[in-house]
Amino acid sequence: MDAFVKEQIDKDMHIKIPHELLKVEYGSIEVNPGMILTPTQVKDEPKLSWNADAHDFYTIVMNDPDAPSRADPKFREWHHWCVVNIPGADVSKGEVLSQYVGSGPPKGTKLHRYVFLLFKQSGKQQFTETHLTNRSGDGRGKQSVSKFATKNHLGDPVAGNFYQAEWDDYVPRLYEQLSGR
């Protein structure tokens, strides 16, 4: 997980670097930590897999610590996806707190890091966070995964992965979707 250290994800997101790699796939693309993808390539929800115990519950969070840019992260962290109470590794059976939103870095802001963190829950639990739709950007800025994990007693992430992306011509369509149109 050297790429996490190199890109200072632990420092910027105030987390411990996970020891295990979370497998993230966008169609035929398997994400390697730190690789560069385009918003077009990551517009649809990815497939995730990890070494799960079928009797345990997990939480997945995807955040961008570089909003609106890495040089000026005043909205750190922008929240892209959150699924809780995932039984084993079956994300489709978890409770979606925040519907998936692909990458939408503003034009000219260079590369953003999109970080996936997996937490093992102590059991099935109640979460009080507001459910967020993928038709609005409201409630997604300044969402610290570290504070979320502390509040919900999730401990340190057990697996993770990330890619980097910058603006492409798909981003205006994503912004239109987030405006509720």
Q: What is the CATH number of the domain that holds 94?
A: 3.90.280.10
User: pLDDT digits over 61-92, tens only?
Assistant: 999 999 999 999 999 999 999 999 999 999 99
The rounded percent of the chain whose pLDDT value lies above 90 is 98
Indicate the helix (H) or strand (E) that contains 149: helix 145-151
Rounded Cα gap, residues 129 and 165, in angstroms: 28
The amino acid that residue 163 corresponds to is: Y
Quick: pLDDT tens for 125-171.
999 999 999 999 999 999 999 999 999 999 999 999 999 999 999 99
Provide the pLDDT confidence category of residue 34 given band limits of 50, 70 and 90. Answer: very high
Domain assignment of residue 16, given as a range = 2-178
168-174 contact pairs (CB < 8 A, 24+): 168/38, 168/39, 168/40, 169/40, 170/38, 170/39, 170/40, 170/43, 170/102, 171/39, 171/103, 171/104, 171/105, 171/106, 171/107, 174/39, 174/43, 174/101, 174/102, 174/103, 174/104
Total number of residues shown for the chain: 181
Total domain count, the chain: 1
pLDDT at position 133: 94
From 81, 59, 47, select the one nearest 151 (Cα to Cα): 59
